[in-house]
Amino acid sequence: MKAFFRFLFLPVFIAVLVSVSASARVFMKVPSEPRLLMDAAGGRRVYDSAFKINGTDSRVSAYVFEESSDAVGAQLLPKIGVEGRREAENTVIRLPKNYGHSTVVLLDGEKEDASTALLVESNSDPSASEPDWGFRDISMPQGFTPSFSAVDSEAATRVCIGNSVFQDGIAMQIILEQMIKEGWTCATPGAERISSAFFTRGGAIAVVSVLPRDTGSGMLIMRKAGRQLK
Protein backbone atom coordinates (compact mmCIF):
# COMPACT_ATOMS: atom_id res chain seq x y z
CA MET A 1 0.00 0.00 0.00
CA LYS A 2 1.33 3.45 -0.85
CA ALA A 3 2.61 5.38 2.15
CA PHE A 4 0.41 8.39 1.43
CA PHE A 5 -2.75 6.26 1.63
CA ARG A 6 -1.47 4.67 4.84
CA PHE A 7 -0.79 8.12 6.29
CA LEU A 8 -4.31 9.32 5.58
CA PHE A 9 -5.93 6.06 6.62
CA LEU A 10 -4.45 5.96 10.12
CA PRO A 11 -6.34 8.89 11.71
CA VAL A 12 -9.59 7.74 10.13
CA PHE A 13 -9.66 4.38 11.89
CA ILE A 14 -8.39 5.84 15.17
CA ALA A 15 -10.98 8.60 15.18
CA VAL A 16 -13.70 6.01 14.67
CA LEU A 17 -12.45 3.80 17.49
CA VAL A 18 -12.23 6.60 20.02
CA SER A 19 -15.28 8.64 19.03
CA VAL A 20 -18.06 6.05 18.82
CA SER A 21 -20.80 7.51 20.95
CA ALA A 22 -22.53 5.82 23.85
CA SER A 23 -25.59 5.42 21.64
CA ALA A 24 -23.75 3.10 19.26
CA ARG A 25 -24.96 -0.47 19.16
CA VAL A 26 -22.23 -2.66 20.69
CA PHE A 27 -22.59 -6.38 20.06
CA MET A 28 -20.96 -8.92 22.39
CA LYS A 29 -21.68 -12.18 20.58
CA VAL A 30 -19.06 -14.73 19.51
CA PRO A 31 -18.18 -14.98 15.79
CA SER A 32 -15.93 -17.48 14.10
CA GLU A 33 -12.33 -16.51 13.28
CA PRO A 34 -12.65 -12.74 12.60
CA ARG A 35 -10.61 -12.70 9.39
CA LEU A 36 -12.47 -15.67 7.96
CA LEU A 37 -15.72 -13.92 8.85
CA MET A 38 -14.72 -10.83 6.87
CA ASP A 39 -13.65 -12.94 3.89
CA ALA A 40 -16.90 -14.91 3.96
CA ALA A 41 -18.89 -11.67 3.93
CA GLY A 42 -17.23 -10.66 0.67
CA GLY A 43 -14.69 -8.19 2.01
CA ARG A 44 -11.48 -7.42 0.12
CA ARG A 45 -8.55 -6.65 2.40
CA VAL A 46 -6.78 -3.43 1.39
CA TYR A 47 -4.81 -2.65 4.52
CA ASP A 48 -3.02 -4.77 7.10
CA SER A 49 -0.39 -3.57 9.54
CA ALA A 50 1.03 -4.12 13.01
CA PHE A 51 0.39 -1.39 15.57
CA LYS A 52 1.00 -0.61 19.18
CA ILE A 53 -2.20 0.85 20.60
CA ASN A 54 -1.64 2.38 24.03
CA GLY A 55 1.52 0.27 24.07
CA THR A 56 -0.40 -2.94 23.32
CA ASP A 57 0.64 -5.09 20.34
CA SER A 58 -2.22 -4.98 17.84
CA ARG A 59 -3.02 -5.57 14.20
CA VAL A 60 -5.35 -3.44 12.09
CA SER A 61 -6.92 -4.64 8.84
CA ALA A 62 -9.30 -2.83 6.51
CA TYR A 63 -11.77 -4.57 4.22
CA VAL A 64 -13.73 -2.86 1.46
CA PHE A 65 -17.16 -4.02 0.36
CA GLU A 66 -19.09 -3.27 -2.81
CA GLU A 67 -22.30 -2.77 -0.86
CA SER A 68 -23.56 -0.48 1.87
CA SER A 69 -22.53 -0.85 5.49
CA ASP A 70 -26.16 -1.70 6.29
CA ALA A 71 -26.00 -4.61 3.84
CA VAL A 72 -22.67 -5.77 5.24
CA GLY A 73 -24.04 -5.59 8.77
CA ALA A 74 -27.09 -7.57 7.69
CA GLN A 75 -24.71 -10.30 6.52
CA LEU A 76 -22.41 -10.25 9.53
CA LEU A 77 -24.91 -10.08 12.37
CA PRO A 78 -26.73 -13.36 11.61
CA LYS A 79 -23.37 -15.11 11.20
CA ILE A 80 -22.45 -14.18 14.76
CA GLY A 81 -25.91 -14.86 16.14
CA VAL A 82 -27.09 -11.28 16.52
CA GLU A 83 -30.27 -9.67 15.29
CA GLY A 84 -30.17 -5.92 15.65
CA ARG A 85 -30.69 -2.62 13.95
CA ARG A 86 -28.43 0.29 13.21
CA GLU A 87 -28.46 2.91 15.97
CA ALA A 88 -25.45 5.06 15.09
CA GLU A 89 -23.47 6.19 12.09
CA ASN A 90 -21.00 3.38 12.76
CA THR A 91 -21.77 -0.13 13.96
CA VAL A 92 -19.28 -1.54 16.44
CA ILE A 93 -18.94 -5.29 16.92
CA ARG A 94 -16.77 -5.93 19.96
CA LEU A 95 -15.71 -9.56 20.26
CA PRO A 96 -15.09 -11.37 23.57
CA LYS A 97 -11.67 -11.53 25.21
CA ASN A 98 -11.09 -15.15 24.26
CA TYR A 99 -11.07 -13.95 20.64
CA GLY A 100 -8.05 -11.77 21.21
CA HIS A 101 -9.71 -8.46 22.11
CA SER A 102 -10.98 -7.99 18.55
CA THR A 103 -13.26 -5.21 17.35
CA VAL A 104 -14.99 -4.69 14.01
CA VAL A 105 -16.19 -1.23 12.97
CA LEU A 106 -18.44 -0.78 9.93
CA LEU A 107 -18.08 2.54 8.12
CA ASP A 108 -20.23 4.15 5.46
CA GLY A 109 -18.53 4.69 2.12
CA GLU A 110 -18.68 7.78 -0.06
CA LYS A 111 -21.15 5.93 -2.29
CA GLU A 112 -24.29 4.13 -1.16
CA ASP A 113 -23.03 0.82 -2.54
CA ALA A 114 -19.63 0.94 -0.84
CA SER A 115 -18.40 0.54 2.71
CA THR A 116 -15.34 -0.32 4.79
CA ALA A 117 -14.92 -2.62 7.75
CA LEU A 118 -12.03 -2.17 10.18
CA LEU A 119 -10.81 -5.20 12.11
CA VAL A 120 -8.62 -4.44 15.14
CA GLU A 121 -7.02 -7.40 16.91
CA SER A 122 -5.01 -6.86 20.11
CA ASN A 123 -3.06 -9.15 22.41
CA SER A 124 -4.66 -7.50 25.44
CA ASP A 125 -7.19 -4.76 26.16
CA PRO A 126 -5.67 -1.45 24.93
CA SER A 127 -8.02 0.53 27.15
CA ALA A 128 -6.34 -1.02 30.20
CA SER A 129 -2.97 0.52 29.24
CA GLU A 130 -1.76 4.09 29.57
CA PRO A 131 -1.35 6.06 26.32
CA ASP A 132 2.16 7.19 25.42
CA TRP A 133 2.86 10.71 24.09
CA GLY A 134 6.10 9.49 22.53
CA PHE A 135 6.86 12.42 20.16
CA ARG A 136 10.54 13.30 20.49
CA ASP A 137 10.38 16.51 18.46
CA ILE A 138 6.95 17.76 19.55
CA SER A 139 6.46 18.78 23.17
CA MET A 140 3.16 17.96 24.82
CA PRO A 141 1.13 21.19 24.61
CA GLN A 142 -0.01 23.02 27.71
CA GLY A 143 -3.37 21.76 29.00
CA PHE A 144 -3.30 18.51 27.00
CA THR A 145 -3.93 15.04 28.47
CA PRO A 146 -3.42 12.02 26.17
CA SER A 147 -6.13 9.35 26.11
CA PHE A 148 -5.13 7.19 23.13
CA SER A 149 -1.89 6.49 21.27
CA ALA A 150 -0.99 4.31 18.30
CA VAL A 151 2.26 3.55 16.51
CA ASP A 152 2.63 1.97 13.08
CA SER A 153 6.36 1.18 12.98
CA GLU A 154 6.24 -0.04 9.39
CA ALA A 155 4.87 3.29 8.18
CA ALA A 156 6.93 5.25 10.76
CA THR A 157 3.74 6.92 11.94
CA ARG A 158 2.67 7.87 15.46
CA VAL A 159 -0.68 9.24 16.60
CA CYS A 160 -1.83 10.61 19.93
CA ILE A 161 -5.39 11.68 20.74
CA GLY A 162 -6.52 13.41 23.90
CA ASN A 163 -8.24 16.36 25.50
CA SER A 164 -7.24 19.97 26.04
CA VAL A 165 -8.61 22.10 28.85
CA PHE A 166 -8.71 25.01 26.38
CA GLN A 167 -11.37 25.73 23.78
CA ASP A 168 -10.48 24.67 20.25
CA GLY A 169 -9.25 28.04 18.97
CA ILE A 170 -6.93 28.58 21.93
CA ALA A 171 -5.73 24.97 21.89
CA MET A 172 -4.80 25.27 18.19
CA GLN A 173 -3.02 28.57 18.79
CA ILE A 174 -0.98 27.03 21.63
CA ILE A 175 0.28 24.04 19.67
CA LEU A 176 0.78 26.11 16.50
CA GLU A 177 3.07 28.59 18.25
CA GLN A 178 4.84 25.78 20.11
CA MET A 179 5.60 23.71 17.01
CA ILE A 180 6.89 26.73 15.11
CA LYS A 181 9.27 27.48 18.00
CA GLU A 182 10.43 23.86 17.86
CA GLY A 183 11.40 24.19 14.19
CA TRP A 184 8.25 23.02 12.42
CA THR A 185 6.90 24.92 9.41
CA CYS A 186 3.14 25.30 9.15
CA ALA A 187 2.02 24.62 5.58
CA THR A 188 -1.62 25.55 6.22
CA PRO A 189 -2.49 29.25 5.70
CA GLY A 190 -4.56 30.73 8.51
CA ALA A 191 -4.07 27.63 10.67
CA GLU A 192 -4.83 29.58 13.84
CA ARG A 193 -8.39 30.13 12.57
CA ILE A 194 -9.21 26.60 11.41
CA SER A 195 -9.46 23.15 12.99
CA SER A 196 -6.63 21.29 11.18
CA ALA A 197 -3.08 22.17 10.20
CA PHE A 198 -0.27 20.47 8.27
CA PHE A 199 3.39 20.83 9.36
CA THR A 200 6.79 19.88 7.96
CA ARG A 201 10.22 19.65 9.55
CA GLY A 202 13.12 18.23 7.59
CA GLY A 203 11.81 14.94 6.24
CA ALA A 204 9.01 14.64 8.79
CA ILE A 205 5.39 15.69 8.38
CA ALA A 206 2.72 16.20 11.02
CA VAL A 207 -0.99 16.90 11.18
CA VAL A 208 -2.82 18.53 14.09
CA SER A 209 -6.61 18.52 14.32
CA VAL A 210 -8.64 20.17 17.08
CA LEU A 211 -12.37 19.63 17.64
CA PRO A 212 -14.68 21.66 19.88
CA ARG A 213 -16.32 20.03 22.89
CA ASP A 214 -18.70 21.20 25.57
CA THR A 215 -15.73 21.56 27.91
CA GLY A 216 -12.33 22.22 26.39
CA SER A 217 -11.53 20.49 23.11
CA GLY A 218 -10.35 17.24 21.59
CA MET A 219 -7.00 17.07 19.82
CA LEU A 220 -5.31 14.64 17.42
CA ILE A 221 -1.58 14.87 16.68
CA MET A 222 -0.09 12.65 13.98
CA ARG A 223 3.55 12.52 12.87
CA LYS A 224 5.18 10.56 10.06
CA ALA A 225 8.94 10.24 9.64
CA GLY A 226 10.74 9.77 6.34
CA ARG A 227 12.09 11.91 3.56
CA GLN A 228 9.04 11.62 1.35
CA LEU A 229 5.73 9.86 0.96
CA LYS A 230 5.79 7.15 -1.67
What DSSP letter does each residue of 72-96 carry, written as one string? HHHHHHHHTT------SSSEEEEPP
User: What count of other Cβ atoms lies within 10 Å of the Cβ of residue 9?
Assistant: 21
Predicted local confidence at residue 184, as pLDDT: 96
- Per-10-residue mean pLDDT for the chain, 230 residues long? 44 47 38 71 85 85 86 74 44 62 74 81 79 91 91 84 92 94 90 81 91 88 68
Confidence (pLDDT) at 11: 52
To the question of pTM greater than 0.75 for the whole model, the response is no
Q: Are residues 71 and 173 in the same domain?
A: no
134 falls within a domain? no
Same domain, 153 and 82: no
* Same-domain pairing of 50 and 89: yes
In a domain, residue 138? The reply is no
Provide the number of structural domains found in the chain. Answer: 2
Same domain, 112 and 154: no
The pLDDT, as a whole number, for residue 81 is 53
160 with 119, same domain? no
* Domain match, 25 and 94 both: yes
Q: Which of 56, 91, 124 is the last residue of a domain?
A: 124
User: Which residue range(s) make up the domain with 16?
Assistant: 3-124
Neighbours of 25 (CB within 10 A): 17
Q: Is residue 133 part of a domain?
A: no
Q: Could you say which of 93, 124, 155 is where a domain stops?
A: 124
For residues 79 and 179, state if they share a domain.
no
- Predicted pLDDT at 118: 80
How many Å apart are CA 171 and CA 192, to the nearest integer?
Answer: 9
Q: So what's the pLDDT on residue 182?
A: 96
The answer on 94 and 39 residing in a single domain is yes
pLDDT score of 192 = 67
23 lies in the same domain as 84? yes
Strand order in the sheet with 185-186: 26-27, 91-94, 102-108, 115-122, 56-65, 44-53, 144-152, 157-164, 217-224, 204-212, 196-201, 185-186
Same domain, 219 and 153: yes
